[in-house]
Amino acid sequence: MGTIPSGAHRYELCRLTDLTDESLGALVELERLVHRESAHYDDRPWDLENFTRPLPGKQELSLVVMESGKPVGFLVASSRPDGVHVNRVAVDPRHRGMGVAAWLIARLFAQSSGTVTINCDPGNQPAIALYTRAGFRVRGTTPAGKLLLSTDPLIPVEKLCVWYVFTTAGMRSGHAAHVPGFVDTLSHTCRATAVGYGDPADLPPLRLSLDWVRAFLRLAARARREGVDVVFVRIHWKLAALLWMAGRMGGGWRVALWSSGGVGVLSGTRLGLRARAGRLVHRQVLRRMVDAVVTGPPRLIDQYAGRYGLGRDRMLLACNDVNGKALRTLTDGPELAWGPVVRRWLKSPHRFLYVHSLDAIRGADRLPRLLAEIRTDLPDAELLVLGDGPLFSRLAPEPVLLAGRVPNDVVVRVMAQAGCLLVPSRQEGFPRVLVEAMAVGTPCVSFDVGGCADVMGELRDRYVAPDGDLERMAELAVAAARAPLPEAARTALVQRAAVFDTEPVASALAVTLRSLRSQGAGPAALLSRSLWRSAFPRRND
């Protein structure tokens, strides 16, 4: 069902029904160990009969965390007419503090609906703190003197109504071209609708005019008619704030703002009064005028906490997606009529590629020096640049090969022909271009900025250079492109990209937004991090 790296540990999740007789015996031993080590457990530990006794929904709901084939934690639950009851949660004392219990609860929430209840010894303060963070509230006491805790009802995920708001300008530029496909996949899990912002779109560009106000009011009225639960706004923080206010004034929906990236200006840049005022308002919107900020990978949670003063219980973890199968299908299309620049690049045995805006934030000014470093080892190397921006004229005509902006499907075809993709950015958020390259089996080298290392996961040592170290980046790029990539290395790239495949990403987002709507930002934040820790391993280095 999944893995979760935590320090030196690597846990696997399975269902109780999947355990062998030997593992069930080990589970009974774990129960006895936890009973001996805890002052807040039942008077008597469970025996094998308790674990195997049939209860409604128990087979589907009960979960076990394993390490090296041995159980280190478990959650036993059963269904009730109005929801789910957790009968038992236990973690090996040697594995506490590793997120095991939070992972078990998060996965239970992901597959449950209705009210979730649990009983807890009033003296077990660590457990009560975890349950409170997960959205449980004390509702009373049992005849045995234990606390009775329950969540607010979790609406069924399939009934959740989500609006995914994005800019049509992003569609034209290609930055948001994947959004319609993502929303279509999201609609298989919940009631999802794509809402465009721009021209033409559901809402015209934001300009303070009577016509715009009327259009906004029509959109808000439509949201009320459709019973929208969560409005997911991609990047546009001003629109997110207005929709949040409309939700507070009778709409009833919650607003989640996707805001994954750097500060947008280089360090040391002098900003004018208007820009400084805009950044101050932006900070206040993130902190006070949306229900939650959605970002990712995990490193960006730390950065946003420091940069904007955001509490971690207001930040949900999500990620960009990629349809790997569709991208690989594009690479098998008919031969394209390449232009002269691309034809020259294709003749080189060592082909490097850059795909991004040509500006200093994305490190486009570093490309000539980076190519020079590469050519000390590979004199015949060529670097093709796809994109445009303020540095376009400074890069022309040599040493790099400038092809300008090309359609997204052509980018994928070119990417599949590259020996290595270069991402020399000074700032990054969740770099989707890395995932796209991996999905077609192309090595990609980046600096350790934003979420790059988290995206690469266990491949980071091979493909991520220290921030700003051009020599190291060139060394990694040369190693990746010097010879045909071994099939095992290509498979590892494709498998890593599969973590971000559209379907699991959409499913995780739907469950996270359902938690935001039903329980609030804090429990949704805990849920999102627990669900995605397997996609973003952290190491103790």
Cα separation, 301 vs 292, in Å, equals 12
Q: For residue range 243-268, list pLDDT tens digits in order.
A: 999 999 988 999 999 998 888 888 77
Pair 183, 278 in one domain: yes
Q: Which of 132, 150, 168 is the endpoint of a domain?
A: 150
CB 534 within 8 A of CB 4: yes
Pair 142, 165 in one domain: no
Is the model more confident about 171 or about 36? 36
pLDDT recorded at residue 208: 81
- What phi-psi label fits residue 520: left (phi over 0), alpha (psi between -120 and 50 degrees) or beta? left
Cα separation, 1 vs 4, in Å, equals 10
Q: To the nearest 10°, report the CA torsion of 528, 530, 536, 541.
A: 130
Q: Where are the alpha helices (DSSP H) in 392-439?
A: 392-395, 408-417, 432-439
Residues with Cβ within 8 Å of residue 203, at least 6 apart in sequence: 195, 196, 197, 215, 216, 219, 239
In a domain, 509, yes or no: no
Cα separation, 263 vs 362, in Å, equals 12
| Predicted confidence (pLDDT) at residue 538 exceeds the cutoff of 60 | no
In a domain, 357, yes or no: yes
Cα separation, 91 vs 33, in Å, equals 10
Give the Cα-Cα-Cα angle 159, 160, 163 (nearest 5 degrees): 135
In a domain, 508, yes or no: no
In a domain, 510, yes or no: no
Pair 110, 231 in one domain: no
Q: What band does 539 get if pLDDT is binned at 50, 70 and 90?
A: very low
Sign of the alpha-carbon dihedral angle for 9, 22, 119, 40: negative
In a domain, 539, yes or no: no
Of the candidates 110, 119, 102, 118, the residue with the CA atom closest to the CA atom of residue 65 = 102
pLDDT recorded at residue 3: 52
| Predicted confidence (pLDDT) at residue 436 exceeds the cutoff of 60 | yes
Domain residues for the domain of 299 are: 157-321+518-532
Pair 202, 295 in one domain: yes
Strands 70-80 and 382-386: unpaired
In degrees and rounded to multiples of 5, residue 404 shows phi and psi of 75, -165
In a domain, 507, yes or no: no
Helix (H, G, I), strand (E, B) or coil at 254: strand
Give the Cα-Cα-Cα angle 431, 437, 443 (nearest 5 degrees): 105
Q: Facing residues of 79 across strands?
A: 84
What is the chain's alpha carbon radius of gyration, rounded to the nearest angstrom?
A: 25
Cα separation, 75 vs 528, in Å, equals 19
CB 517 within 8 A of CB 155: yes
Pair 342, 315 in one domain: no
| Predicted confidence (pLDDT) at residue 541 exceeds the cutoff of 70 | no
pLDDT recorded at residue 171: 67
pLDDT recorded at residue 40: 79
Cα separation, 42 vs 142, in Å, equals 13
CATH of the domain at 185: 3.40.50.2000
Pair 105, 183 in one domain: no
Q: What band does 172 get if pLDDT is binned at 50, 70 and 90?
A: low
Q: To the nearest 10°, report the CA torsion of 135, 137, 143, 146.
A: 70
CA distances from 498 to 236, 252, 325, 505 (A): 28, 36, 9, 10
Q: What band does 333 get if pLDDT is binned at 50, 70 and 90?
A: confident
Kindly tell me the number of DSSP H helices and DSSP E strands found in the chain: 23, 20
Pair 179, 313 in one domain: yes
Tokens of 200: 């033409």
CATH of the domain at 39: 3.40.630.30
Q: What band does 536 get if pLDDT is binned at 50, 70 and 90?
A: very low
Tokens of 537: 């391993």
Pair 230, 274 in one domain: yes
Percent of residues, the chain, with pLDDT higher than 70: 96
Pair 277, 308 in one domain: yes
Residues with Cβ within 8 Å of residue 503, at least 6 apart in sequence: 185, 188
Mean model confidence pLDDT for the chain: 90
Q: For residue range 397-411, list pLDDT tens digits in order.
A: 779 999 998 888 889
Region 35-52 average pLDDT: 87
CB 331 within 8 A of CB 441: no
In a domain, 523, yes or no: yes
Q: Which of 150, 184, 210 is the endpoint of a domain?
A: 150
- In this prediction the pTM is 0.90
CB 457 within 8 A of CB 537: yes
Q: Facing residues of 64 across strands?
A: 14, 74
Q: For residue range 57-80, list pLDDT tens digits in order.
A: 998 999 999 998 899 999 999 999
Cα separation, 20 vs 122, in Å, equals 35
| Predicted confidence (pLDDT) at residue 84 exceeds the cutoff of 90 | yes
Tokens of 366: 């570093």
Pair 13, 100 in one domain: yes
Region 477-495 average pLDDT: 92
CB 229 within 8 A of CB 162: yes
| Predicted confidence (pLDDT) at residue 16 exceeds the cutoff of 50 | yes
Pair 177, 138 in one domain: no
Tokens of 377: 């080892």
Helix (H, G, I), strand (E, B) or coil at 334: coil
CA distances from 318 to 151, 261, 370, 396 (A): 23, 13, 32, 38
CB 229 within 8 A of CB 254: yes
Q: Which of 106, 127, 150 is the endpoint of a domain?
A: 150
CB 28 within 8 A of CB 48: yes
Region 213-238 average pLDDT: 95
Tokens of 368: 């000539």
Cβ-based burial of 133 (10 A; exposed 0-12, middle 13-18, buried ≥19): middle
Which amino acid, 353?
A: L
DSSP-derived secondary structure for 31-73: HHHHHHH-SSS-SS---HHHHHS--TTHHHH-EEEEETTEEEE
pLDDT recorded at residue 297: 84
Q: How far separated are the first and last CA of the chain, in Å rounded?
A: 27
In a domain, 522, yes or no: yes
Domain count of the fold of the chain: 3
CB 126 within 8 A of CB 100: no
Pair 165, 299 in one domain: yes
CA 18 to chain centre: 28
